[in-house]
Amino acid sequence: MTVMTRLRTAAAIALVSMSTGVWGTGAWADMPVLKASVLKFGTVNWELDVITHNGLDEKHGFDLQVQGVAGGSAAKVAFQGGEADVIVSDWLWVARQRAAGKDYVFIPYSRAVGAVMVPGDSAAQSLADLKGGKIGIAGGPLDKSWLILQAYAEKELGVDLAEDTEQVFGAPPLIFKTALQGELSGAINFWHFLAKMEASGMKPLITVEEAATALGLDPKTPLLGYVLKGDMLRDHPELVQAMASASRDAKDLLAVDDAEWDRLRPRMKAKTDAQFDALKAGFRAGIPDPGPVDEGAAQKMLSLMAELGGSDLVGDAVDLPDGVFVQPGS
């Protein structure tokens, strides 16, 4: 059943219930359902858990159902095939899809970005000191952090990282493991693995935020977000508003409530208190400011990504398509 069918069904039930004077439990149980398809072990699950555990979806008039998948590609297939209403991706992917005629929209979720981590006893002071070394990279040759760091190294240090280092591409857990074993001169990984690496004794050489700022990009631009279809925004804007509001409520809770983090700890797979504290701090640091995304700043980032990654990364989205970011929270 598509989300539109579910919405029409819920609306019909609501009308019948109100006309018979029984608005309450029955109609509430049949409120609109949003199916979110996300990585089974992704950090977004922490926020989604907070939404469902605390009834923030019901508070805003919908039922959030979370289905875990093994990879990002599987989530996108479910979304594009109508099996999921919401996924998490970056807005650059949404821009690429809109440029190709797909009506997808983006609600900001996180601005957390990574860093280059080096062993705790490394003598490296800058990316230039990694020449001749081996860099582990999660996400592949078109990983956005890797591209930004390459551009920074060339502009600020006159270093061609791709030419002057050996790159090892792998899944995030593999890069995490090999880095801790001392097999890499430096490592670029997803932020939550980097937090665990730092808690385990590694240290940041440079953050992607620092590199982006040096390139004139706005580090406040949220990269990750919830992706929904434009017809939902057009036909049922209140449901999109509800998802955005539930997400913001969860962020507001996680920003201040340590007890909620203690409840989440079993889901976080933190092996030590140091890892737990680093993950909590990293999530909080990545909470985007409320309010609109600066589309001029987004265009600047898109232009750089188009220059560095070409059509393999951004497709035909050289200019920011209209309608990528939705209100509110965008």
Q: Evaluate if residue 111 carries a pLDDT over 70.
A: yes
- Domains of the chain, by residue range, sit at 32-111+222-314, 115-214
Q: What is the pLDDT of residues 304-317, one digit of tens each?
A: 999 999 999 999 99
- What secondary structure does DSSP assign to 271-312, as a single string? -SHHHHHHHHHHHHHTPPPSS---HHHHHHHHHHHHHHHTHH
For the entire predicted model, the pTM comes to: 0.86
Sign, Cα dihedral of 32, 327, 112, 319: positive
| Sequence letter at residue 281 | A
Angstrom distance (rounded) from CA 327 to CA 322: 13
Which one is the CATH code of 115-214: 3.40.50.720, 3.20.20.140, 3.40.1160.10, 3.40.190.10? 3.40.190.10
Determine the pLDDT at residue 84. Answer: 97
**Do the strands 33-39 and 63-69 form a parallel or antiparallel pair, or are they unpaired?**
parallel
Q: What is the pLDDT of residues 277-287, one digit of tens each?
A: 999 999 999 99
Q: What is the pLDDT of residues 138-169, one digit of tens each?
A: 988 999 999 999 999 999 999 999 999 999 99
Q: Evaluate if residue 10 carries a pLDDT over 90.
A: no
Least confident span in 19-33, 57-71, 238-252 = 19-33
Q: What is the mean pLDDT of residues 117-131?
A: 97
Q: What is the mean pLDDT of residues 103-121?
A: 94
- CATH H superfamily, domain 32-111+222-314: Periplasmic binding protein-like II (3.40.190.10)
Q: Evaluate if residue 256 carries a pLDDT over 60.
A: yes
| Intrachain domains 32-111+222-314 and 115-214 with the same fold | yes
* Total residues belonging to the chain: 330
Sign, Cα dihedral of 90, 93, 99, 100: negative
Q: What is the pLDDT of residues 22-37, one digit of tens each?
A: 223 333 457 999 999 9
